[in-house]
Chain A
Amino acid sequence: MATRLRETDVVIVGLGAVGGIAALPLTQAGLEVIGLEAGTWLTKRDFAPDELRNNYRGWPQSAQKANREIPTHRPTAASPPFPRLAIHPMMNAVGGTSLHYWAQSWRLNPWDFKVVSETKRRYGSARIPGGSTVEDWPFGYEELEPYYDKVEVEIGVSGAAGNVNGAVDRRGNVFEGPRRREYPMPPLRGTGFTDLMAAAARTLGWHPFPGPAAVNSRLYQNRSGCMYHGFCNRGGCHVDAKGSTAVTTIPKAQATGRLKVVTRAHVTTIDSDGDGRVTGVTYLVDGMEYQQPAKVVLLASYTYENVRVLLLSKSKAYPNGLSNNHGQVGRHYFSHNQTAGVSALFPWNTNSWYGLPAQGTAVDDWADDNFDHSALDFVGGGNLWVYSDRRPIAAASMSTFGKTGRSWGSEWKAFVKENADRTNTSYLQKTTLPYEANYLDLDPVVKDPLGFNVCRITAEYKENERKIALFIQDKMEQWYRAAGAVAVERAPVGPMGPSTHAYGGTRMGDNPQTNVVDRWGFSHEAANLGVLGASTMGTSGARNPTLTAQALAWRTADHLAKSFNAIARRRL
């Protein structure tokens, strides 16, 4: 039987990018918090500049909990599953994937909160794609702005503001929503190549700018500035310049004396009583079972695991899974369409051997509704991003742009010797909508080593996403050609498998018939259960989700701290 532990105010399931944020405002407000984390502490000494280990062997993900429960994926309910990924895209550790992520720290644009109403207003109701379940957010950008600001200051975001209180500044993103102040730090520096790309974008009449990054551009809060050494992509930072929660909000929350971090804790279920209130969580460490009672539970793992834990947590009050009496857990799932990339070959070395994926030049002219869609037949767009990031194995594995007969031998070798530093691959994040036919549930067959069913993805990119992909590829090719590319290659729209940008499944909204959590991030059904992460987001925008998920986490925690007595004791 489980060892029953002493009750706490709040238990957070997962101390990663979002759980690690929520811990700070809660503990600062005087609440006792226990953070259950499946991984361990990792420190800068763990983060060697080792491409083989980081990028080919998936360390440390390969040895972790998440890796034993990789979601399965099938494009439609009628199709057979794809082969399962060998390595989970996310990792377990204190700080979670914020340790090794690219650290691009975007705010969503105001349009992203009002996709439905704005699209209808400008282009008519018929423009919303058939089968899409997209809704407006229950609030607008201005509601989240104070929380974006808090997170940016706390974790340290570098960037160039494009709109401070309505004053547009062309050095930043002219399309962004108004910010209350500049970024805490100036942007990461440009490289010769990214500066050249920015100049090329200007010749096209576009508005390039350095993207925002949770990476220090100078000494910040006693953490070093970035060393630009080239191993940030799936690698942690060897000087703690990356603002993962492991080196920012979590230690700060620990310093209050009110955060207890429990590592290697594998949460299996969230427990609930006959009234439908959650009572705590059950977890395993080394095969020993513990029950942690709590007045409030915040579920803060990742989208796939948030959904899986809810569906596995069945009880008398929730026979179909916790907070799933409306059948909405797992619905409105989507993952950012990052496939359909574009690569270019230049006739000169780009000198991209160093840098980081967050050191680059962005163009937002073709994202969201930043351009007139009247003559087009889709909703949304894409953010174009070129950056400085190259390591030797990947460089040697480059495409030869059809210029060699074989991908090996002397001719191939000569090509790679000449061109290893002459190629660039853009990162194109494109609007992806939720659809009725795209969802998460439990795989009926595949189980983890404990015998629990893993998460199953049923999803494919639809017509709207395919149209955006072609449109954005045209723009990206135009940009590369303007910069002097001699060859451009386009990748096809790929499968919609396990993703680092996975949204929905516990969507936030006022209507309990179509949403799992309310506008504060608390369950419509279990009033003392909150859900953190991109699983609550109803739209993706065209940019990385982490900062938005973190701002939402802070807002949910702030609301909890202010309304703790009501939430902890409230009866439905």
Chain B
Amino acid sequence: MSKLISRRELLKRAGVAGVAAVVPVTADKRPQQGPAFAAPQAAAAREPLEHLTAMESDVLEAIVARLIPSDARGPGAKEARAAHYIDRALGGALASSRTLYAAGLAAVEEVAQSFRGKAFKDLLPDEQDDILSRFDSGTVQGFADAAAFFAVVRAHTLQGTFCDPYYGGNAGFVGWDLIGYPGVRTLVTPDEQRLGADVPFNRKSAYDYEMFTKAVASAAPMGAITHGD
């Protein structure tokens, strides 16, 4: 039961962050300097970090904001709270990537400091992109895992932006809205599969459908361990 409550709480918070994310989109007309969007960072600051350090989190937040930037075409990975998703998952399904994140985020910060004399999060977007490109192409001196790290962060940023919001990413469904995914359904009609169909958006998590959250009571009689004696 406590799990259920915390899940709903999570979704509620995710929804709040999604609303907050609307603000920076309109603020996008400002000159490109400094941390572009204050509001989502403020939202993130209200969350505890579960696995990343504060410095690691700063770097990761800045990276995801460049991988899928918030721009004229809408909010991006920061607003989707992809970094929050990654932080949570590093203690669970993505735990095997924890050491790679430690090394990679430290490497990004080191490159920022040695090239620009500033924290990665405080660089201009173009400067950040330049550094990230070096990781993407694996041309970072002294860090052989640069390309592997970049690929992992990119894959996880996609997960955190486009996953079911239950996992703490895709806040406010900004990822699904971006690509026009009309959402999780349990029934799809023939009309909804026609070319040019106008399918209404269904802003739900899979786990808003109660059939997927209850205990499997029916498994007990069939699933009990018995032997053929």
Contacts and interface: CB of A to CB of B under 8 A. Distances in A.
A409 interface: yes
B195 A193 contact: yes
Given A49-B184, A52-B167, A351 B228 contact: no
Interface string B183-223: 01111101011111101000000110101101010110011
B66 interface: yes
B65 to A, nearest CB: 11
B91 to A, nearest CB: 14
Interface stretch (A21-29, A317-325, A389-397, A463-471): A389-397
Contact of A406 (B136, B211, B226): B136
14 contacts: A40-B223, A43-B219, A45-B218, A49-B206, A50-B212, A262-B227, A351-B196, A393-B162, A396-B179, A397-B158, A407-B154, A409-B129, A413-B71, A417-B73
Given A41-B222, A260-B228, A395 B68 contact: no
A484 to B, nearest CB: 11
B212 A395 contact: no
A290 B196 CA distance: 59
Interface centre among B155, B179, B206 (most CB of A within 10 A): B179
A361 to B, nearest CB: 13
Interface in A253-289: 260-264, 285
B212 A45 contact: yes
A6 B227 CA distance: 9
Given A94-B222, A229-B188, 7 more contacts: A6-B229, A230-B185, A238-B186, A260-B226, A393-B159, A407-B154, A421-B180
A497 B194 CA distance: 37
B131 interface: no
Interface string B67-80: 11101011010000
Nearest to A246: B222
B206 A6 contact: no
Interface of A: 3, 5-6, 8, 11, 34, 40-41, 43-52, 56-57, 94, 189, 191-193, 196, 227-230, 238-239, 260-264, 285, 290, 292, 348-351, 353-355, 388, 391-393, 395-397, 406-410, 413-414, 416-417, 420-421
A358 B89 CA distance: 32
Given A40-B223, A353-B199, A6 B228 contact: yes
Nearest to A280: B228
B207 A48 contact: yes
Contacts of B1: none
Contacts of A57: 93
Contacts of B67: 408-409
Given A43-B219, A192-B194, A285-B225, A392 B211 contact: no
Contacts of B184: 49, 229
Contacts of B193: 189, 191-192, 228, 351, 354-355, 388
B225 A353 contact: no
B24 interface: no
A264 B190 CA distance: 40
A420 B71 contact: no
Given A49-B206, A52-B167, A413 B216 contact: no
A409 B66 contact: yes
A56 B167 CA distance: 13
Contacts of A48: 206-207, 209, 212
Given A192-B196, A388-B193, A263 B225 contact: yes
Interface centre among B154, B162, B163, B178 (most CB of A within 10 A): B162
A56 B74 CA distance: 26
Interface string B168-183: 0010000110111110
A397 B228 CA distance: 48
A408 B136 contact: yes
Given A52-B163, A354-B188, A393-B163, A420 B180 contact: yes
A230 B188 contact: yes
Contacts of B170: 392
A56 B216 contact: no
A262 B190 contact: no
A155 to B, nearest CB: 19
B186 A43 contact: no
B61 interface: no
Given A353-B181, A408-B154, A5 B194 contact: no
B186 A408 contact: no
Those 9 A-B pairs whose CB atoms lie nearest each other, nearest first: A192-B195, A420-B179, A48-B212, A34-B228, A191-B193, A354-B188, A5-B229, A392-B162, A192-B194
B225 A264 contact: yes
Nearest to B214: A45
Nearest to A50: B206
Given A45-B211, A351-B195, A262 B74 contact: no
A111 to B, nearest CB: 34
B135 to A, nearest CB: 11
B163 A354 contact: no
Contacts of B227: 3, 5, 262, 285, 290, 292
A94 B225 CA distance: 13
B57 interface: no
Nearest to A62: B93
Contacts of A408: 66-68, 132, 136, 154
B133 interface: yes
A56 B197 CA distance: 29
Contacts of A238: 186, 211-212
A413 B74 CA distance: 10
A227 B170 CA distance: 25
Contact of B216 (A46, A49, A354, A409): A46
Contact of B218 (A43, A416, A421): A43
B68 A261 contact: no
B164 interface: yes
Given A8-B228, A396-B179, A196 B195 contact: yes
Contacts of B76: 413
B212 A351 contact: no
A392 B228 contact: no
A301 B91 CA distance: 33
A393 B186 CA distance: 18
A354 B228 contact: no
A380 B175 CA distance: 43
A331 B158 CA distance: 42
A19 to B, nearest CB: 15
Contacts of A406: 133, 136
Contacts of A410: 69, 71, 73
Contacts of B211: 44-45, 238
B228 A353 contact: no
Given A5-B227, A395-B181, A420-B181, A354 B161 contact: no
